[in-house]
Structure 1
Amino acid sequence: MVLKQIESDQKHKVEEQRWRQDEAKRREEEQRRFQQEVREHREEMLRLQQMQHKQLAEILQAWKEQSPKPQETTSLKDLRLTKLTAEDDIESYITMFERVAKTCLWPKDQWVVRLAPYLTGKAQKAYSSLNARDAQDYDYVKDAIFHRYELNVETFRQRFRAYRYSNFDGPREAYAQLHELLLKWIQPERKTGEQILEMIALEQFIEILPDKVKLWVQEHRPETSTKAISLAEDFLLARREAEQRITVRNKTPSAKRAAAQSKSSRPWRSKMPQLWESWTYCEILP
C-alpha cells in the first residue's frame, strides 16, 4: 500500500514537472511570437516613414523648382486668395489665410498688406476704422476684426469648455477641434508661459466663487487675478455692510417712525426710484 502511494506521488510529480515544462515552452513561444510581431510592426512603420520622407522630399524639390525667383516674390501680382464673402465663416477664413501665409513663408509684417484687399463687409469696416499705425500690425488687425464679429477671448474660452465629444466626428477630429479652440483661447504665440498660467488660474478662481459674486466679477471682465480678487472683496464688503444696515434697522424701534417722518417732510423723495437700495438688498444679499 505504501509502495503504491509512493509510485503515485512520483507519477504525479513527473506529470506536474512535465506540465510546467510545457507551460514554460508555451510562454516562451508566445513571447517569441509577440517580439516577432513587434519587430515586424516597427519595420513596417519605419518603411512607411521612409516612404513619407521620400515623398515629402520629392514634393519639396518640385516646389523649389517651380518657385519664382527671390526678386519675383516681392510682387503681389501672383497673389491668388479668395475674397471674403458674407457666407464665409470669419474664423475659418482667417485660419486659412494664416496657413497660406506660413506655407508661402510670407514675412509677418506683410500679412496685413496681403490680407486687406480681400476683406469685405464687417471685416473691411473693422480694418478701415484703425489708425495708420495699428493697421500695420497683423495681430491688432485680427483682434479688431474678431471684435467686430463679437469674437473675443471669453468667446473662445466658453467654446473650449462647452465642446463635447461627438461620435460622428470621432476621437481624432474631436481632439483636433478641441486643440484648435484651446489655441484660439490662450493664444500661445502672443503670451508667455506665466501669462498662460495666470489666465487658467483666473478662470478657475472665478469658477469657484459663489454664484452672485461670480456674476459680479464676470460682468466686469477682469484681465488679471489681482483685479478679480479686488472685485470679489468689494462685493463681499458691500454685502456685509448691507447686512449690518438691515440688522441696525431691525433693532431700532424708531427706525420706521423716523423714516416715515423723513418721507413726509420730503415728499419728492418718495417719487425717486431707490436704485442703490434695491441693488444692495436684492443683488448683494444672498
Structure 2
Amino acid sequence: MRERLEMEKLKLEMVKEESNTKVQSKSEYFDAAKNTSLVPKFCEKTVDKYFPQFEKIAHNLNWPKPYWTTMLQSVFEGKAAEIYSALPSEKSSDYDMVKQEVLKAYELVPEAYRQKFRSYKKFDSQTYVEFAREKEDLFDKWLTSKKTDNNFDNLRQLMLLEEFKQCVHLDLKTHLDDKTVGTIHDAAVNFR
C-alpha cells in the first residue's frame, strides 16, 4: 500500500513537472510574424541611424536576438535586401554580420562625407539643436571615414589639406585628390 502511494505521488510530480515545462515553453515562444509590424521602416538614406533605432526597439520589447535578422529582412529594401539575400544562410542569421555588411554597402567615400558636411544647411522646419546635432554627425562621419582616430595632428592635417586644396587651381586639386595625399607638406611637395 505504501509503495502504491509513493508511486502515485511520483506520477503526480512527473505530471506537474511536465505541465510546468509546457507553460514555460509557451511563454518562451516568440512569434516573429506578430511582431513584424513593430519593426521600424527601413530608409536607405538614413541607414547609419536605422540600426541603433532597431536595437532600442528590440531590447525594449525583449525580442530574442536570434530572431533579429528575421525581423530585419521583413523591412529591408534596395541594396540592403540584395546584401541580405546574397549572404550565406549561416551569416544571414547572425545579426552583427548582417548589420556590418549592410553598413559597409552604404558607406560613402570620405569626399562625399566632406561635401555633405560642408554643404548641409538648416531647414526651416528644424530647430537649431536638431541642425547642430546633424551637422556634428556629418562631421564625425567625415572624420571617421578619413580615419583621424580622434588624433589632433590627424585632424589638423585634414583641415590644413582641405584649406590648401581650396586655394589651388581646380586641376591641381584634382591631381591631389587622385594622389590621395595625407598632409599639407605632401601636397606642397607635389608642385615644386
Matched with 1:143 is 104
Matched with 1:204 is 159
Are 1:104 and 2:61 matched, yes or no?
no
Are 1:178 and 2:132 matched, yes or no?
no
Task: Report how far residue 90 of structure 1 moved.
Answer: 0.8
Task: Report how far residue 207 of structure 1 moved.
Answer: 0.9
The one-letter code matched in structure 2 to 1:143 is K
What secondary structure sits across from 2:32 in the alignment? Answer: coil
User: Which segments of 5 or more consecutive residues in structure 2 lack a partner in the other structure?
Assistant: 1-25
Identical aligned residues as a percent: 22
Q: Deviations for 1:217-247, whole angstroms, at most 9, x for unmatched residues?
A: 323456xx37x865x36733xxx4xxxxxxx
Task: Report how far residue 209 of structure 1 moved.
Answer: 2.6
TM-score, with normalisation over the residues of structure 2? 0.54
Residues 201, 134 of structure 1: CA spacing in aligned structure 2 closer, same or farther, 3 A cutoff? Answer: farther
Matched with 2:173 is 214
* RMSD over aligned Cα atoms: 4.1
Structural mapping, 1:1-286, within 5 Å: 71-72=28-29, 76-77=32-33, 78-80=35-37, 81=39, 84=42, 89-92=43-46, 95-105=49-59, 112-129=69-86, 136=94, 137=97, 138-144=99-105, 146-147=106-107, 151-186=108-143, 195-197=149-151, 200-210=155-165, 211=168, 212-221=171-180, 225=182, 232=187, 235-236=190-191, 240=192
Residues 165, 112 of structure 1: CA spacing in aligned structure 2 closer, same or farther, 3 A cutoff? Answer: same
Residues 184, 204 of structure 1: CA spacing in aligned structure 2 closer, same or farther, 3 A cutoff? Answer: closer
Q: Deviations for 1:227-277, whole angstroms, at most 9, x for unmatched residues?
A: x865x36733xxx4xxxxxxxxxxxxxxxxxxxxxxxxxxxxxxxxxxxxx
Conserved in 1, the CA contact under 8 Å of 2:44 and 2:78? no
What secondary structure sits across from 1:164 in the alignment? Answer: coil
Distance in 2 (CA, whole Å) between partners of 1:109 and 1:183 is: 31
Conserved in 2, the CA contact under 8 Å of 1:134 and 1:141? no
Conserved in 2, the CA contact under 8 Å of 1:112 and 1:141? no
TM-score, with normalisation over the residues of structure 1? 0.40
Distance in 1 (CA, whole Å) between partners of 2:86 and 2:180 is: 24
Residues 233, 94 of structure 1: CA spacing in aligned structure 2 closer, same or farther, 3 A cutoff? Answer: closer
User: Which segments of 5 or more consecutive residues in structure 1 lack a partner in the other structure?
Assistant: 1-68, 241-286
Deviates more, 1:97-106 or 1:194-203: 194-203
Distance in 2 (CA, whole Å) between partners of 1:195 and 1:125 is: 31
The one-letter code matched in structure 1 to 2:178 is E
Conserved in 1, the CA contact under 8 Å of 2:117 and 2:138? yes
The one-letter code matched in structure 1 to 2:173 is K
Residues 109, 215 of structure 1: CA spacing in aligned structure 2 closer, same or farther, 3 A cutoff? Answer: farther
Q: Deviations for 1:188-215, whole angstroms, at most 9, x for unmatched residues?
A: 9xx8xx6133663343132133525432
Conserved in 1, the CA contact under 8 Å of 2:32 and 2:67? no
Larger gyration radius, structure 1 or structure 2: 1
Conserved in 2, the CA contact under 8 Å of 1:213 and 1:235? no
Residues 108, 214 of structure 1: CA spacing in aligned structure 2 closer, same or farther, 3 A cutoff? Answer: farther
Runs (4+) of structure 1 moved beyond 6 Å? 106-110, 131-134
